Amino acid sequence: MPDLDVVRLLTAKRDGARLDPDAIAALVRAYTDGDVPDYQMAAFLMAAFIRGMDETESAAYTRAMLYSGEVLDLSDVEGTKVDKHSTGGVGDKVSLLLAPLVAACGVPVPMISGRGLGHTGGTLDKLEAIPGFRTDLGVEAYRQQLADIGVVMIGQTAEIAPADKKLYALRDVTGTVESIPLIAASIMSKKLAEGIDALVLDVKAGRGAFMKSTTEARRLAEALVGIGQEFGKPTVALLTRMDAPLGRAVGNGPETAEAIRALHSVDPLGGEIDDLMEVTLALAGEMVHLGGGATSVQHGRQLAEAAVRDGFAWGVMREMVEAQGGDVSVMDDPDALHGAPVATVEAPDAASAGFVTEIDAFEVGLAAVALGAGRAKKEDDVDPKAGYVLLKKPGEAVAPGEPLAHVYASHADQANPERLAAAFSFGESAPAASGMVLDRLDAAGWRSRSASGAGEPAAA
């Protein structure tokens, strides 16, 4: 490491200087190889956290992590490969529906996902609630399954962005997680390494999201889309609400069961989980359009709606479960994933006459972690059955003593329904209805969206 003066680089960043991309690449490479100790890299992360990183630095940092391992080449798989990433929320099982749904529309979806940490759930934990489902496929099996059935969902392999894995662990213990440039580079280095041709992002804002304000969420979306464009990958971000849990299920088994039912019900496009389907179909329209399967975003959404109605999406999901070793019987009996409820949360007599006005997603997420559905530390195990099914959502009428939610867990003594009950608020009138999709960003800038997929230039 004779050409890398780490102390000089750290001092420059501390003082607000813009770092040369080659210096950033050399630093990340040296740290990944073990030539730079944790304490020096922690100093760099803190300097970047406080001083920020401009677009050139962020792209260089992303590139360094991206090329720290294998960048998959999926050019031998026919079609435009499109993935989706969510910044995380409570009840967010969208990926479980979306990946097979988009594949059913003829667009291949290679998806590498993560586990839950803190109050937000993880796609891998939800998939592994299906007995036998393997998320640890190697690169060749990943490529082959994508070619065979058009969709594959796995966890990060040792070959993909190893620098990011090491740096994220360091950020987690040095108070440097909440940095938009560092977050964006972490997300995009993994996604770009998958072998994708295009990417759609679900950037969530609200109490249950990582980004609580729309201002923060917009800044993150801009950083993510900017990196995608820098690497020549068409990238679209939707800004979506995350104040109340998405859908009615929270927890790995309950959410996976809800995802299966959403693709295989009598009226899958409406009714009880319209918020979940609104987000899913909005993202699907974008993905199908980017993948060349539709002439417009609206056309892509229409194709996705048809794939749900005619059962094609459910069929592709079943193929994926079978291909990855999962018990396909759950596709016909999804309730087996969580069993019978161990407790019921009821509306309090004094406070509940009228309507549910709010359900605090953050508090629901924390309650689910305490129940066993999530993990406080990365090494914690999760109870695949643990979680909730909400019988009432904001805007719905409620009477004193009426059931608000069912509680699921492997052990009844873990239920603690009082904690979930505290997340509900009530009032005499229903809150105003609001759409789930707040805004849309692509290379041309921000454009407000309606649930139908139409876009208008955002107000200044």
Q: Which of 164, 202, 360, 383 is catalytic?
A: 164
* CA torsion, ordered 258, 259, 261, 263, to nearest 10 deg: 160
List C-alpha distances in Å: 85 to 99, 109, 366: 11, 12, 22
CB 447 within 8 A of CB 439: yes
71-85, 147-161, 442-456: lowest mean pLDDT where? 442-456
310 part of the active site:
no
Predicted pLDDT of residue 109? 98
- pLDDT tens readout for residues 224-245: 999 999 999 999 999 999 999 9
Q: Which of 29, 84, 85, 233 is catalytic?
A: 85
The band of 204, judged by pLDDT with boundaries at 50, 70 and 90, is: very high
Q: What does DSSP assign to residue 403? A: E
36-50, 270-284, 407-421, 444-458: lowest mean pLDDT where? 444-458
Measured from the Cβ of residue 430, the count of other Cβ atoms closer than 10 Å reads 14
Q: Which of 95, 186, 189, 352 is catalytic?
A: 186
Q: Which of 190, 191, 248, 318 is catalytic?
A: 190
Q: What residue segments make up the domains of the chain, in order of their start? A: 6-52, 82-334+436-457, 338-427
Measured from the Cβ of residue 309, the count of other Cβ atoms closer than 10 Å reads 12
What residue type is assigned to position 392 of the chain? K
Predicted pLDDT of residue 258? 96
Q: What is the mean pLDDT of residues 312-329?
A: 98
Average pLDDT of the chain is 90
The band of 254, judged by pLDDT with boundaries at 50, 70 and 90, is: very high
43-47, 120-124, 198-202: lowest mean pLDDT where? 120-124
- pLDDT tens readout for residues 171-184: 978 888 889 999 99
What residue type is assigned to position 81 of the chain? K
425 part of the active site:
no
Alpha-carbon distance of 438 to 205, in angstroms, equals 9
Predicted pLDDT of residue 379? 64
Would you list the DSSP string of 335-372? Answer: GGGT-S-SEEEE--TTT-SEEEEEE-HHHHHHHHHHHT
- pLDDT tens readout for residues 258-308: 999 999 864 555 556 799 999 999 999 999 999 999 999 999 999 999 999
264 part of the active site:
no
% of the chain with per-residue pLDDT over 70: 92
Where does 98-145 show beta strands of DSSP type E? 109-113
Three-state SS annotation for 12-54: HHHCCCCCCHHHHHHHHHHHHCCCCCHHHHHHHHHHHHHHCCC
CB 333 within 8 A of CB 339: no
Q: Which CATH number fits domain 338-427: 3.30.70.20, 3.30.230.10, 3.90.1170.30, 3.40.50.1240?
A: 3.90.1170.30
Helices and strands in the chain, H and E counts: 16, 15
411 part of the active site:
no
pLDDT at 451 over 50: no
Measured from the Cβ of residue 121, the count of other Cβ atoms closer than 10 Å reads 28
Measured from the Cβ of residue 2, the count of other Cβ atoms closer than 10 Å reads 4
Predicted pLDDT of residue 458? 39
Helix 94-104 / helix 312-323 crossing angle, nearest 10 deg: 110
Q: Which of 81, 115, 119, 171 is catalytic?
A: 171
Homologous superfamily (CATH) for 6-52: Transferase, Pyrimidine Nucleoside Phosphorylase; Chain C (1.20.970.10)
**Helix-, strand-, coil-residue percentages of the chain, each rounded to 5:** 45, 15, 40
pLDDT at 454 over 50: no
- pLDDT tens readout for residues 330-349: 999 999 999 999 999 999 88
Token duo for residue 430: 């229903």
Where b means 16+ CB within 10 Å and e means fewer, 27-45 reads: bbbbbbeeebeeebbbbbb
* Closest C-alpha among 184, 83, 27, 126 to residue 385: 126
Alpha-carbon distance of 329 to 65, in angstroms, equals 40
CB 102 within 8 A of CB 285: no
Token duo for residue 361: 């997603």
CB 221 within 8 A of CB 449: no
Model pTM score: 0.91
85 part of the active site:
yes
Say if domain 82-334+436-457 classifies as CATH 1.20.120.160.
Answer: no
